[in-house]
Structures are given as structure tokens and as C-alpha cells.
Amino acid sequence: MPESLRGKAAIVGAADTEVGVVPHLGPTRLCVEAILGALEDAGLSKDDVDGLVTCNSIAEPCTYHAEAIAEYLQIFPRYCVSVATGGGTTFTALHQAAAAIATGLCNTVVVAMADSLRSRVSRERAVAMQASTGHPQFEAPWGAPVSASYALIARAHMHEYGTTPEQLAAVAVSTRAHAARNPAAQMRTPITIDDVLNSRMIADPLHLLDCSLISDGGAAVVLTSAERASDLRRRPVYLLGAGEGHGHEHISQARSLTTSAAVDSGRRAYRMAGMGPADVDFANLYDCFTPVVLILLEDLGFCAKGEGGAFVEAGHIAPDGRLPVNTHGGLLSHCHPGHPGAMFALTEAVRQVQGNGGERQLARAELGLVHGQGGVMSSHCTLILGRERTA
């Protein structure tokens, strides 16, 4: 039944490490610090953990990553797995962890991810990785990096719907406005549309400020059963809906450049939660490049297809807008350590729903939607989080 996970698991602890340029801590230390911080936030110890989900590090890869982190911490979980679906990894991991709790496989799961792309991955290695992700026959021989693939998506949206560079830039401006309220964000200085359009061209039509940051950092959350959550230190944040959608692996094989499998993941998450887009108070969306936000806003039902540019241009995703998006600053302004990037969207959503957002706390944040995507608009996962067990 699609509603089987609704309200059965709750996030009871969340923690971030410092982000940006963190040369004194490697990925393993960042991951461990995030885990210990999340456990402290929940009022639990490592001995309470019987499930661990991690994502492998690019800077410090390990064959059995989750097992290695468990060994480091000296915990001995009965559920232990490493996942990897690109930017969607965070939410896919939480989806799986909630299912493990609901089926009795374990009781308390830590989901943690960290990496050091800024300090411990050389420029040469980064360029090689970016160029090697494409289809080995139809994409890689041409040497197009990931940014070029997202530029292709941007151009398609502009061609089909008349989206403008100014509307793309408005995403970056709005995200920076959120980051300006977040003392932990890597980039906090406000920017303008002209700043974005005058920044260096990366892959036409994407400028430097249309592209996400490169960062170090890690984050973790603690997930447990709804019954146990009510007895712990923090206000529980319940998982009300979850859905995945997987459309392709390589962008050359995508059925559409302007509509993604977020349509499927969103529909499944809404159905499980028993709610729709109009019920959502805020959304934290995977913003690796500005056009992604426009497409996700459309595909998740926050505006009609083709109206994402106008929706953003009207200020609806800004701090005081109708649907605040990426209240922590997102990948464009808070940080982006690679696969763990969406973890910060999750920890931010937890704080907003709990009412612990500090200066950036929203007046209404009872229901939040978080969405991640991996590859080039390939693998999607949508989660709906709420203050109460039922929407």
C-alpha cells in the first residue's frame, strides 16, 4: 500500500559540520563528527544505533564505507548499507531507512554523509570525473562535462517555454538571499541579476553563479520509530510521504529534457502523505544548477509546466515568498560537497519543521518538501516531512 510508511518513522536528531573550505578534517572525520552531533541532538548514544546508512566519499573512497564508519565508531548495527544515487542519495537513503524501521529490521538508523571536494580533490581529478560521467559511446567521447549537460537542459527549457537568462539568474539571487540569513552558509553576500549575468560563462547559457559551489562538509540525521520518537529530546519530524522516480541514466537517453521523473516521485510522495503541492509550506530542492529549480517547481506541481521562470521571477521562492525554497542557501550558496549536498537540505528542513531555524525561521513551516536528483536529472526522490503524524 502506498501509505504504508506514512507517520511510521521520525527524524529526532540532525547535525551539520562546518562547511566550505575545511582542510583540517577529512571525509571520515567529517562523517563521524556529523554522526556524533546528530546523536547528541537526539539525546542518544552510539550504543542506541542499530542501523547505519552512508554514502561513499569521492575524496577518500572505501570499498565498504558504512562498515568502515561503524568500525571507526565501534557500533555494530544489524542494518548497514552504503548507497549511491548521486544527488538523490540522501533522500533515497532515508526512504530505505524508514522502510527498514517500519518492517522491524532495525529501530534507530543514522543516515550520514560527508566529503571534501574542495580541499582534497585536485582540479585535474575533478575535471576528469566531470568528463567521465557521460555515456561511454554517445557522450564521453565529446568531452562534455556535467555543466554542459545541464546547459543543454537550460537551452531546451528556454527554447520550449521562452525562459530567459534573467529568470535563471533569479534562482541564484533568491537562494543567496536565504543564505544571507544563515551564518553557516559558505557564500552570504547578496547578489543581483546583473551579478549573475556578468559572472564568467561556464557552459552557455550557464554563468558561474548559475552553478553550485564546491565544498567540504558533512551532515547526519537520526531516524527512529514514531513511537520511540515521542519520548526523545527533540520534537519529532515525521516522514509523511516518500516517492522515487527513475527516468534514465544518461542525458542522451532522456525521454524529455524539460520534464523529469520528479513528476513520478512527487506524485507518489503526495499520494502517500494524502496531500498535494498546495499544502506544502516550504521546499528544499536540489539546485546544482539554476534551471533544475525551474523544472522541479513545475514537475512537483508548484506551478504549471513552462511557468517556472515566471514563478521565480515573481519572487515566490524568496525568503518572504509564497513558497520559500532552500531556506539554508542550497547548493548554490550554502555548500555542495558532492553526493552529501542534499543532506543539508534535509537537516535544514528538520530545523524549520521543529521551529529551530533561528533568524531564517519561517512563520509557517508545519509541512516541508525535500527533493533530490542524481545524475543529470536521472534519479529522483521526494520526501514530505511534517510536525504531526498525519497531514
pLDDT tens for each residue of 226-244? 999 988 888 999 999 999 9
pLDDT for the residue numbered 140: 74
Comparing 2-11, 20-29, 56-65, 157-166, the range with the smallest average pLDDT is 2-11
Is 198 inside any structural domain? no
When the pLDDT of each residue in the chain is averaged and rounded to a whole number, the result is 93
pLDDT for the residue numbered 144: 79
pLDDT for the residue numbered 142: 75
Is 3 inside any structural domain? no
Is 362 inside any structural domain? yes
pLDDT for the residue numbered 90: 83
Let me know if 141 is exposed, middle or buried by CB neighbors in 10 A (0-12, 13-18, 19+): exposed
pLDDT for the residue numbered 23: 95
* The dihedral formed by the CA atoms of 360, 365, 367 and 371, expressed in degrees to the nearest 10: -10
- Tens digit of each residue's pLDDT (9 = 90 or more) over 38-49: 999 999 999 999
Is 167 inside any structural domain? no
Is 194 inside any structural domain? no
Structural domain span for residue 41: 9-120+213-386
pLDDT for the residue numbered 128: 67
Neighbours of 41 (CB within 10 A): 22
Rounded to an integer, the average pLDDT of 90-117 is 94
- Tens digit of each residue's pLDDT (9 = 90 or more) over 242-286: 999 999 888 889 999 999 999 999 999 999 999 999 999 999 999
Is 140 inside any structural domain? no
Is 139 inside any structural domain? no
Comparing 59-68, 173-182, 185-194, the range with the smallest average pLDDT is 59-68
pLDDT for the residue numbered 130: 64
Which pLDDT band, with edges at 50, 70 and 90, does 191 fall under? very high
Cα-Cα end-to-end distance for the chain: 17
Q: Are 234 and 35 in contact (CB under 8 A)?
A: no
pLDDT for the residue numbered 309: 98
How is the chain split among helix, strand and coil, in percent rounded to 5? 40, 20, 40
State the pTM of this model. Answer: 0.95
- In the block, residue with C-alpha cell 559511446: 137
84 Cβ contact partners less than 8 Å away, ≥ 6 residues apart: 55, 56, 339
Comparing C-alpha atoms, which of 95, 106, 110 is closest to residue 54?
110
Domains in the chain: how many in total? 1
Element (H, E) at 39: helix 27-42
Taking 70 as the threshold, does the pLDDT of residue 132 lie above it?
no
Which pLDDT band, with edges at 50, 70 and 90, does 174 fall under? very high
pLDDT for the residue numbered 1: 39
Which pLDDT band, with edges at 50, 70 and 90, does 152 fall under? very high
Is 227 inside any structural domain? yes
> What ranges in 59-143 are assigned the alpha helix state H?
65-73, 89-102, 117-120, 123-132
Taking 70 as the threshold, does the pLDDT of residue 354 lie above it?
yes
Q: Which CATH number fits the domain that encloses residue 246?
A: 3.40.47.10
Comparing C-alpha atoms, which of 302, 368, 298, 301 is closest to residue 14?
368
**C-alpha cell at position 367:** 509541512
